[in-house]
Chain A
């Protein structure tokens, strides 16, 4: 394990990605404790302020401290994105592995269905799900998870197809193991590495997708400190103070870039040939 982390940190992408993700993790875990102000305290006299000693990143249209809101909103934004990605990945990985294991007509049927689902852009698909289920945080999570599953299923299937040909799977079939055992115990553990890499990259997509949903008013609802929602609300006031719009956007970008770089680093570290 230490060897693995050493390999990860040896590449610049891995090191920077790790650093950014650790930073995000600290904010997620300790954000509410670190916040200097209450994120929902209105201060009518201190609206649209630029950065100062009292308000490090300035204040928004109601005079709320942007820095505190970012620290507290990290939980909602990042945790939701990670959860949605994990749910989507698990679903997709299971479907993909099953499809590869079954092969033949069943494989054809599953993959063509997935193709059909994939032909709808993920944002549109998420919008559709949220519209059907009603707008709330949990529904947004479900929407993002479902939107991600087909892509993961495709990637998993391509890896699982090569695993399917391995003799240990043949050995399991020959000794009459159940399909569930073969898929869960023999195949899934061996397709996990590329899935983890893909997952870290997708977390950044999820952050942006959540931000977009919130921006459109279909995810978290005001006065929540969700980053996408903050950008959305700031839009109307950006000519009064650019900071309201810039800082949450920067926060989203840091998370996206961090996970993306970590994904690149993991890809190299998990590949024994490099």
Chain B
């Protein structure tokens, strides 16, 4: 950052982008001015729908047919990309500018080996022969920190973990020493520890090659960890840009301030620490195990042993009335499996004691149990039936669990309880925003006045600012109703703000349960400490 060359590697000047839609022209980007110099990382931060990814695609010159470009220039080392022909652009892509996508499991072709896909780039853009490309590919995989590059080249994408796949994608992005690389949320689909490692790798490679990087993310804390400069984008407008330190220490715009405030900070607790410690917990989970897969019919007949996949191994925990118990862990650690077992969506072995009653199997979960234990899912898009009106969605639990009189009145009350206008009852889910949909899902869960609400990653599909308001709403509802929460998340910063106790899970096992205040103490299990270290620090700590 000391000596900036005269011309930036990537310069976007007064660029605008429109989409023709059935309902008229949508302005996706408005007069964008950005520049990325050699050796620099520019972070581009914004909520979903703010135009981050549209910008990435216009730089790559890969826009849908209904895109219109009213004006502006995109310069790569002084050459205007907008004036290039398709053939010229094809030669550019991968050679001089490349891109790393969000989800490595979908950006790699599942039918080709990793080596073939990596060598393809080298053959295409550097004119190597197959053998040379293969050798070079191995060297690259070694460079991105994969332990056995030779055997990794021969593996298929499904034989590699998410982190390994993302390393391969990064290797192919760096393969031709491009001038500029666009990273589109490269760690969002990965779990905390892996994404921490990927970020370290990214910073290392970036320093080594001096490539100009545009790092797109919705997570301010993450961007502040890698980027030197940050641009904040909102509804297609760059509202503010500057050095990381300035943005955090002295944000100029209200929107930036809101974004910074919405980032969860474990030092700022949102609930009291008083846990009512009773002898009689609301729920006691005793040695609950979940296995996936069913015995094939023939195997059952012949008595052949079959291997089952364990989702949970003998989990035991308890939740007190009115308590918020957080469960954290990587993806695949069995958090959601436990939630599903407790709501009767998975068969389980072991016992669940609820309110003094013993539940041994799905058959014991009667109407009263289902009324008292409610679940809210991660994606509000998927958990609300797209063909039903909000009024129908909300009136179902009333009909099932309560009296069905004055339905319209009650549905309206429920909507007001979650701070939505009563008129939303007549809408369909696709007419609501993500945050509004999640509020409807919350209203549905609270309709039966439950004693325990299981929140399964309910904020991870939402933007940071929306997440903050949803969490606020949950805490208010908790205060009013005294409901206990089982709050499942992978966001440690968030859970440290709101939970009374935190349970850590790893590969189907419960590692430990600790009070939220003590989760970062040195006495914790080794895995917990690694998890805490991997989490990006809260935004405020960069000051």
User: With the chains together, A171 CA to B441 CA distance in Å?
Assistant: 10
Q: 8 Å CB contacts to B: which residues of A184-198?
A: 185-186, 189-190
The answer on a CB contact under 8 Å between B377 and A171 is yes
Does B213 reach chain A (CB closer than 8 Å)?
no
Given A104-B294, A175-B396, A167–B370 Cβ distance below 8 Å? no
Does B386 reach chain A (CB closer than 8 Å)?
yes
Given A105-B297, A174-B375, A176-B370, A3–B386 Cβ distance below 8 Å? no
The answer on a CB contact under 8 Å between B387 and A189 is yes
Encoded as 1 (CB less than 8 Å from any A CB) or 0, chain B from 429 to 446 comes to: 000000000000000100
User: With the chains together, A173 CA to B374 CA distance in Å?
Assistant: 11
- Min distance, Cβ B150 to any Cβ of chain A, angstroms: 38
The answer on a CB contact under 8 Å between B345 and A170 is yes
Which of B344, B385, B388 has a CB less than 8 Å from the CB of A173? Answer: B344
The answer on a CB contact under 8 Å between B400 and A175 is yes
Does A108 reach chain B (CB closer than 8 Å)?
yes
Q: 8 Å CB contacts to A: which residues of B228-273?
A: none
The answer on a CB contact under 8 Å between B387 and A171 is no
The answer on a CB contact under 8 Å between B383 and A176 is no
Q: Which residues of B contact A158 (CB under 8 A)?
A: none
Does A166 reach chain B (CB closer than 8 Å)?
yes
Q: 8 Å CB contacts to B: which residues of A136-174?
A: 166-168, 170-174
**Cβ-closest 9 pairs across A and B:** A167-B383, A189-B387, A167-B377, A176-B370, A167-B382, A174-B343, A168-B385, A166-B382, A174-B375
Does A177 reach chain B (CB closer than 8 Å)?
yes
Q: Which residues of A contact B367 (CB under 8 A)?
A: 176
Q: 8 Å CB contacts to B: which residues of A95-127?
A: 104-105, 108
Q: Which residues of B contact A190 (CB under 8 A)?
A: 385-387
- Min distance, Cβ B356 to any Cβ of chain A, angstroms: 20
User: With the chains together, A148 CA to B283 CA distance in Å?
Assistant: 51
Q: Which residues of B contact A186 (CB under 8 A)?
A: 385
- Min distance, Cβ A106 to any Cβ of chain B, angstroms: 12
Given A174-B343, A175-B397, A177-B400, A168–B382 Cβ distance below 8 Å? yes
- Min distance, Cβ B311 to any Cβ of chain A, angstroms: 15
Nearest residue (CB) in B for A3 is B22
Which of A108, A166, A177, A189 has a CB less than 8 Å from the CB of B297? Answer: A108
Nearest residue (CB) in A for B342 is A174
Q: Which residues of B contact A172 (CB under 8 A)?
A: 396
The answer on a CB contact under 8 Å between B384 and A168 is yes
Does B379 reach chain A (CB closer than 8 Å)?
yes
The answer on a CB contact under 8 Å between B379 and A174 is no
- Min distance, Cβ A78 to any Cβ of chain B, angstroms: 30
A contact residues vs B (CB 8 Å cutoff): 3, 104-105, 108, 166-168, 170-177, 185-186, 189-190
Encoded as 1 (CB less than 8 Å from any A CB) or 0, chain B from 352 to 371 comes to: 00000000000001010010
Which of A3, A108, A170 has a CB less than 8 Å from the CB of B377? Answer: A170
The answer on a CB contact under 8 Å between B344 and A174 is yes
Which of A105, A176, A189 has a CB less than 8 Å from the CB of B400? Answer: A176
Q: Which residues of A contact B384 (CB under 8 A)?
A: 168
User: With the chains together, A104 CA to B293 CA distance in Å?
Assistant: 10
Q: Which residues of A contact B345 (CB under 8 A)?
A: 170, 173-174
User: With the chains together, A190 CA to B430 CA distance in Å?
Assistant: 14
Nearest residue (CB) in A for B384 is A168
- Min distance, Cβ A99 to any Cβ of chain B, angstroms: 16
Q: Which residues of B contact A185 (CB under 8 A)?
A: 388
Q: How many residues of B contact A (CB 8 A)?
A: 28
Q: Which residues of A contact B22 (CB under 8 A)?
A: 3
Q: Which residues of A contact B387 (CB under 8 A)?
A: 189-190
The listed residue with most A CB atoms (<10 A of its CB), out of B365, B382, B401, is B382
The answer on a CB contact under 8 Å between A175 and B370 is yes
Q: Which residues of B contact A108 (CB under 8 A)?
A: 297
Q: Which residues of A contact B385 (CB under 8 A)?
A: 168, 186, 189-190
* Contacts A174-B375, A186-B385 known; 12 new A-B pairs at CB < 8 A: A167-B382, A167-B383, A168-B385, A171-B383, A171-B444, A175-B374, A175-B397, A175-B400, A176-B365, A176-B370, A189-B385, A190-B385
- Min distance, Cβ A20 to any Cβ of chain B, angstroms: 26
- Min distance, Cβ A1 to any Cβ of chain B, angstroms: 13
User: With the chains together, A124 CA to B387 CA distance in Å?
Assistant: 39
User: With the chains together, A188 CA to B384 CA distance in Å?
Assistant: 15
Nearest residue (CB) in B for A163 is B385
Nearest residue (CB) in B for A189 is B387
The answer on a CB contact under 8 Å between A177 and B383 is no
User: With the chains together, A44 CA to B427 CA distance in Å?
Assistant: 67
- A-B residue pairs in contact (CB < 8 Å), sample of 19: A104-B294, A108-B297, A166-B383, A167-B382, A168-B382, A168-B383, A168-B385, A170-B340, A170-B345, A171-B444, A174-B344, A174-B374, A175-B374, A175-B400, A175-B448, A176-B370, A177-B396, A177-B400, A190-B385
- Min distance, Cβ B396 to any Cβ of chain A, angstroms: 7
Q: Which residues of B contact A173 (CB under 8 A)?
A: 344-345
Q: 8 Å CB contacts to A: which residues of B383-403?
A: 383-388, 396-397, 400-401
- Min distance, Cβ B513 to any Cβ of chain A, angstroms: 25
User: With the chains together, A170 CA to B294 CA distance in Å?
Assistant: 19
User: With the chains together, A88 CA to B345 CA distance in Å?
Assistant: 33
Q: Which residues of A contact B401 (CB under 8 A)?
A: 175
Q: Which residues of A contact B444 (CB under 8 A)?
A: 171
- Min distance, Cβ B365 to any Cβ of chain A, angstroms: 8
User: With the chains together, A18 CA to B466 CA distance in Å?
Assistant: 45
Q: 8 Å CB contacts to A: which residues of B19-46?
A: 22
User: With the chains together, A175 CA to B396 CA distance in Å?
Assistant: 9
